[in-house]
Structure 1
Amino acid sequence: MQHIYFVRHGTTEWMELKKIQGISDIPLSARGRKEAENTAKAFAEIELDAVYCSPLLRAYETAAIICQSKDLQPQIIHDLRELNFGWMEGRRDFNFPQKNWGILRYMALLGRIFIVWISGEHFSQVKKRAQNSWRIINERSPRGTILIVAHGILLSFLITGLLSPEQRKATKRIYLQPCSISEIVLNDDGSARIVRMNDISHLN
């Protein structure tokens, strides 16, 4: 059995400015560090066997703060990095010239952002990275209690990949908040039990 915790990184200055981050390596803001400290308190009584994180600074900083009170170091998995938004990174969330709105709105309605042909990454590539990340993590930690600290889109693919079709339907519209905690128990038969999703009660 595996007990898996998923934490999205804390807030950054770009998030406060509503800028798209993607793989841009933006550190935590003062607010984000405080969120990570509160998240560390939430994990104070939880015994973790391993902590895995994205190589991007905002995720690594969050994981490192959580690990400060534990005899653990975050293990970087490069495929846990966020979606590459290409030319859109650094821009405010969908705050583009009017001439771009038609195609962007159409893509958003489809639930897909076709930017790979410009400079970014397709959702299918992120899904593949999420699957590869889980393969690596599962090989290193086939049992026990683990924490994965990464990014909103990547974690969404990672979490849904462990769920049944019915569970995916129930969770597909959940937006993971900064430093939210999601928790899943993965049984030996491969079935998953959702304990909580997008819990931010520790931040209040």
Structure 2
Amino acid sequence: MSTLFLLRHGAIAQYEPRRFIGQTDHPLTEEGRRQAELWREALAGVPFEAVAVSDLCRCRETAAIILRGREGDIRCDPRLREIALGEFEGLTVDDVQARFPGAYERRGCDIAGFRPVGGESFADVQTRAVAAVSELAHLCGNVLVVAHGGVNRAILCHALGLDLAHLFRLGQDYCRLNLLDLEPDCWRVTGVNLAPGLPWQFPGP
């Protein structure tokens, strides 16, 4: 059995009005780096058998901060990228409603299956992300995965048997941790959206 430490990347810049970010490659803010430093301290005593991260820079940087001073490779896996939003990328909700009449409403009615032009659905995301994590389930020990809010929710929905229509019921704040016990035929969720500094008992060496 492996224990999956599934982390969302640290904070990135947000703008008002908010925009669809998807796979746009934003770096961490100073707050995001501070959040990652807190996890470096909290996880200092936890050994990792493997580390896999989204290849977007906000995830790579989060993992690099957490693992600073440790030996071992960080494997970048594009299957852990955030959802691709195609022609929605970089637009506000008002922009989307003006340029693609009815598309925003259709997405709201079918959050699992709707694909923007040139983009993905959350069902697509779940398929690729679960495949990436499944390859780690055979390991014995702790595995760190740093990914994104949408990706992590899709993985958790799979583990919980929860319909993707409800994925936004799962909180996934910046740089928060989820814990899952992975066996090849059974995934068990033991923690969701955990903050550093709380008295959680992490698996030891």
TM-score range, shorter chain: 0.7 to 0.9
Relative to total residues, which structure has the larger helix share, 1 or 2? 1
- Relative distance call for 1:73 and 1:67 in structure 2 (3 A) is farther
The reply on whether 1:119 has 2:115 as its aligned counterpart is: no
Q: 1:159 aligns with which of 156, 161, 167?
A: 156
Q: State the percentage of identical aligned residues.
A: 27
1:77, 1:71 → 2: CA distance?
19
How far the C-alpha of 1:28 sits from its partner, in A, is 0.7
Q: 2:195 aligns with which of 172, 196, 200?
A: 200
Partner of 1:149: 146
How far the C-alpha of 1:176 sits from its partner, in A, is 0.6
1:168, 1:46 → 2: CA distance?
31
Residue 50 of structure 2 aligns with an amino acid whose one-letter code is A
After TM superposition, the structure 1 = structure 2 runs for residues 18-167 of structure 1, keeping only pairs within 5 Å, are 18-92=18-92, 94-96=93-95, 99=98, 102-112=102-112, 114-116=114-116, 118-138=117-137, 142-163=139-160, 165=161
CA RMSD in angstroms comes to 2.8
Larger displacement relative to structure 2 (143-152 or 106-115): 106-115
Q: Is 1:177–1:200's contact at 8 Å kept on the other side of the alignment?
A: no
SS of the residue aligned with 1:145?
A: strand
How far the C-alpha of 1:133 sits from its partner, in A, is 0.9
Q: Is 1:64–1:73's contact at 8 Å kept on the other side of the alignment?
A: no
After TM superposition, the structure 1 = structure 2 runs for residues 173-192 of structure 1, keeping only pairs within 5 Å, are 173-187=169-183, 190-192=186-188
1:44, 1:95 → 2: CA distance?
44
Q: Is 1:67–1:73's contact at 8 Å kept on the other side of the alignment?
A: no
Unaligned runs of 5+ in 2: 199-205
Deviation track 1:128-166 (CA, whole Å, cap 9, x = no partner) reads 211221233335xx2211110001111112233233x37
1:175, 1:136 → 2: CA distance?
25
Query: What is the number of equivalent residue pairs in this alignment?
Result: 196
Partner of 2:201: none
- Relative distance call for 1:167 and 1:47 in structure 2 (3 A) is farther
Q: Is 1:44–1:69's contact at 8 Å kept on the other side of the alignment?
A: no
Residue 11 of structure 1 aligns with an amino acid whose one-letter code is A
Residue 8 of structure 1 aligns with an amino acid whose one-letter code is R
How far the C-alpha of 1:168 sits from its partner, in A, is 8.9
Residue 132 of structure 1 aligns with an amino acid whose one-letter code is A
1:147, 1:103 → 2: CA distance?
36
The reply on whether 1:11 has 2:7 as its aligned counterpart is: no
Partner of 2:202: none
1:134, 1:3 → 2: CA distance?
11
- Relative distance call for 1:170 and 1:42 in structure 2 (3 A) is farther
